[in-house]
Amino acid sequence: MIPVRGVEGQRLAVLGLGRSGLTAARAIRAGGGIPVGWDDNPAAREAAEAEGIETLDLRRQGAFEAISALIVSPGIPHLYPAPNPVVLAALEAGVPVDNDIGLFFRSFATPDWDNFDTPPRVVAVTGSNGKSTTSALIHHILEQAGRPAQLAGNIGRGVLDLDPPADGDVVVLELSSYQTDLARALTPDIAVFTNLSPDHLDRHGGLGGYFAAKRRLFAEGGPDRAVIGVDEAEGLYLAGQLSEGPGDDRVIRVSSGQKLSGAGWNVFARKGFLTEWRKARQTASIDLREIKGLPGAHNHQNACAAYAVARALGLAPRVIETALQSYPGLPHRSQRVAEANGIVYVNDSKATNVDAAARALSAFKRIRWICGGLEKEGGLDALSGATGAVAKAYVIGREAAQFAMQLDVEAEVCTTMENAVSRAMAEAEPGDTVLLAPAAASFDQYDNFEQRGTDFVEQVTKRLG
C-alpha cells in the first residue's frame, strides 16, 4: 500500500466506498489520517464499517465541518451533467476536492528514494482507445526486459494499493478521463496520449471538456517526456503545446498510417512495419504483421506508443522487438479466442464506441460482425465507410432492430449473444473472422463489457466443443 502523505491527524472524507474509495480510506489511515466515508449503498457502508472506517452522511448540513479534503471515487460525476450535491457542498465549504490519483502522486515519492541507485519512474497512459493495451504492453515489455514494474489505475490494481516502489521500479498507470479530471497532482515522468474520439460526453459537458480532462495529465505539472498520438487534430495540438521546436525530443510523436519525419523523435507504423525516426534519420524498424497479440492498425498504434515509452526508458530496439513477439493480448481487447476450420474468433467487447469498433473492423479481411447494445450519444454515423470487410452483421441488444437499421451492411436481428454466435458460426466460411466489436455500451443486457465478452467466449467454446 502507498500511505497517503501529509494527512497526519486530519479528517478526510471519502465519497464512494467501492474498490478505489475503500482503498483510499485505508491508505489515508495508513498515513496517519482519519478517513470518514459515505456511499449511498448500505452494503458498501457496512463493508467500510467492518474495517473500522467511520461513515458519515456527507449530504447532511454541516457535514464538512472539520473535514480537510473530500476524496471522490472516479465513477461519481462531479460537475456534469449536473453538479453533485456532496461535491458542491464541499466546494461551498472551501474544502479541497481530490481523488485517489491525486493522493498517489503526492504520496509516491518518499525519503527512502535517497538511498536508491535509480529513482522509480511513473508512466501514465490516457486516451480514448487503446490505453489498456498500451499500458499492459509497456508493462509486458519491461517485465520481459527484466525491469521491475507494476501495473495499476484503470487496469490491474488500484493506485494506492501498489507496493512501495523498489530501486529502479517503473509504475505503469492507465488513467481514464474520470481519473485525470479531479486529480490535484498529476506528475508522471512519462505521459502518453493515444488518441481522441467522442466518449463520455455527458460526463464532461461535451467533447471540449472531455479533451480538457485528458489534457490535464500533461498540464498539471508536466511530464519529463510525452508520447503523443498525432493522428487526430487534438493530438497535434497537444504535441505543439508541449514542444519548444521541431527538434525537441521531449515529445515523441506517434502515428499509425502516416510517415513522420523531421528533426524530432517520431515512431510510426505503416503497412505493418514500425519505424523509429530520430534526428532526421531512421534508427530502427520492426515487422508487426505476424504478431498475433497485436492485430490491425489500431494495435500497431498501441505498439508504437509502448515502443516509444520503452525507448524513453532506455531499452534497446531489439529487446523491445523480442518482447512484442511474446505479447499475449488482453481479454476483451482484440482477444483471439479460438481458431477452427479456418475461422478465427475474436473478442473485442471493449470496443464500446463507434471509433473503437471501426478500428477493430479494419484489422481483418472478411468479418462476421457481432455488434449492438446500448447506443452512445452521436449515433453510428462514424461507422460509415468502415464496414467494407463485413460480410454480415449479427445484432444483439434490447434495441437490436433499431441498431440494425442504421448499419450500411446486411444485418440480422439476433437480440441475444447466444443467437448471434450461433448464426455467425453457421454462416461463417474458411477465412472469415467472427468478431465481437459491439460499438455500444453493454448495460442494456450485461453489468459490464467484461461480462459481455465472457458470454461471447463461452458461447463460442460451447459450440466448438
Q: Which of 220-229, 290-299, 358-367, 412-421 is the most confident on average? A: 412-421
Query: Closest by alpha carbon to 364, among 464, 439, 292, 457?
Result: 292
Total tally of structural domains belonging to the chain: 3
**pLDDT-wise least confident of 180-184, 218-222, 234-238, 302-306:** 218-222
Residue 223 neighbours by CB distance under 10 Å? 21
For the domain that residue 440 is a member of, what is the CATH number? 3.90.190.20
Q: Give yes or no: residues 208 and 273 share one domain.
A: yes
The 10s digit of each residue's pLDDT in 12-48 is 999 999 989 999 999 999 999 999 999 999 999 999 9
Confidence band of 216 (pLDDT split at 50, 70, 90): very high
Any domain includes 345: yes
Return the pLDDT at 378: 73
Q: Give yes or no: residues 133 and 245 share one domain.
A: yes
What is the Cβ-side half-sphere exposure of residue 165, based on CA atoms within 13 angstroms? 31
d(CA 368, CA 392): 5
Say if residue 161's pLDDT is above 90. Answer: yes
Confidence band of 187 (pLDDT split at 50, 70, 90): very high
Query: Closest by alpha carbon to 136, among 281, 9, 294?
Result: 294
User: Does 262 belong to an annotated binding site?
Assistant: no
The pLDDT mean for the chain works out to 94
Tally the residues of the chain: 465
Q: Give yes or no: residues 220 and 308 share one domain.
A: yes
Any domain includes 4: no
Q: Give yes or no: residues 238 and 304 share one domain.
A: yes
Residue 281 neighbours by CB distance under 10 Å? 8
The 10s digit of each residue's pLDDT in 411-455 is 999 999 999 999 999 999 999 999 999 999 999 999 999 999 999
- In this prediction the pTM is 0.86
Q: How deeply is 314 buried, as exposed, middle or buried, from its count of CB atoms within 10 A (0-12, 13-18, 19+)?
A: exposed
Q: Give yes or no: residues 72 and 130 share one domain.
A: no
User: Does 133 belong to an annotated binding site?
Assistant: yes
Return the pLDDT at 387: 95
Say if residue 264's pLDDT is above 80. Answer: yes
What is the Cβ-side half-sphere exposure of residue 127, based on CA atoms within 13 angstroms? 33
User: Does 131 belong to an annotated binding site?
Assistant: yes
Any domain includes 33: yes
Q: Rg of the chain's alpha carbons, rounded to an integer?
A: 23
Return the pLDDT at 434: 98
Any domain includes 430: yes
Any domain includes 1: no
Confidence band of 162 (pLDDT split at 50, 70, 90): very high
User: Does 214 belong to an annotated binding site?
Assistant: no
Query: Closest by alpha carbon to 103, among 52, 69, 64?
Result: 69
Residue 153 DSSP SS3: strand
- E runs forming strands in 259-363: 265-270, 273-278, 281-287, 335-340, 343-347
The 10s digit of each residue's pLDDT in 403-418 is 999 999 999 999 999 9
Which of 304, 325, 346 is the last residue before a domain boundary? 325
d(CA 207, CA 458): 36
Which of 291, 325, 359 is the last residue before a domain boundary? 325
d(CA 132, CA 140): 12
For the domain that residue 233 is a member of, what is the CATH number? 3.40.1190.10
Residue-number span of the structural domain to which 389 is assigned: 335-464
Any domain includes 37: yes
Return the pLDDT at 315: 97
**Arithmetic mean of pLDDT, 370-374:** 96
Return the pLDDT at 263: 87
Say if residue 73's pLDDT is above 80. Answer: yes
Q: Give yes or no: residues 177 and 291 share one domain.
A: yes
Say if residue 220's pLDDT is above 90. Answer: no
Return the pLDDT at 376: 83
Q: Give yes or no: residues 50 and 115 share one domain.
A: no
Q: Give yes or no: residues 176 and 312 share one domain.
A: yes
The 10s digit of each residue's pLDDT in 317-371 is 999 999 999 998 888 988 999 999 999 999 999 999 898 899 899 989 999 999 9
User: Does 130 belong to an annotated binding site?
Assistant: yes
Residue 424 DSSP SS3: helix
Query: Closest by alpha carbon to 372, among 346, 352, 350, 345?
Result: 352
Q: Give yes or no: residues 208 and 156 share one domain.
A: yes
**Arithmetic mean of pLDDT, 120-134:** 95
Any domain includes 2: no
Q: Give yes or no: residues 115 and 60 share one domain.
A: no
Say if residue 288's pLDDT is above 90. Answer: yes
For the domain that residue 63 is a member of, what is the CATH number? 3.40.50.720
Q: Give yes or no: residues 262 and 406 share one domain.
A: no
Return the pLDDT at 201: 87
**Arithmetic mean of pLDDT, 198-227:** 92
**Arithmetic mean of pLDDT, 373-398:** 90
d(CA 274, CA 308): 11
Which strand (E) or helix (H) includes residue 207?
Answer: helix 207-219
d(CA 374, CA 372): 7
d(CA 157, CA 134): 16
Q: Give yes or no: residues 168 and 313 share one domain.
A: yes
Which of 59, 80, 98 is the last residue before a domain boundary? 98
Any domain includes 5: no
Say if residue 459's pLDDT is above 80. Answer: yes
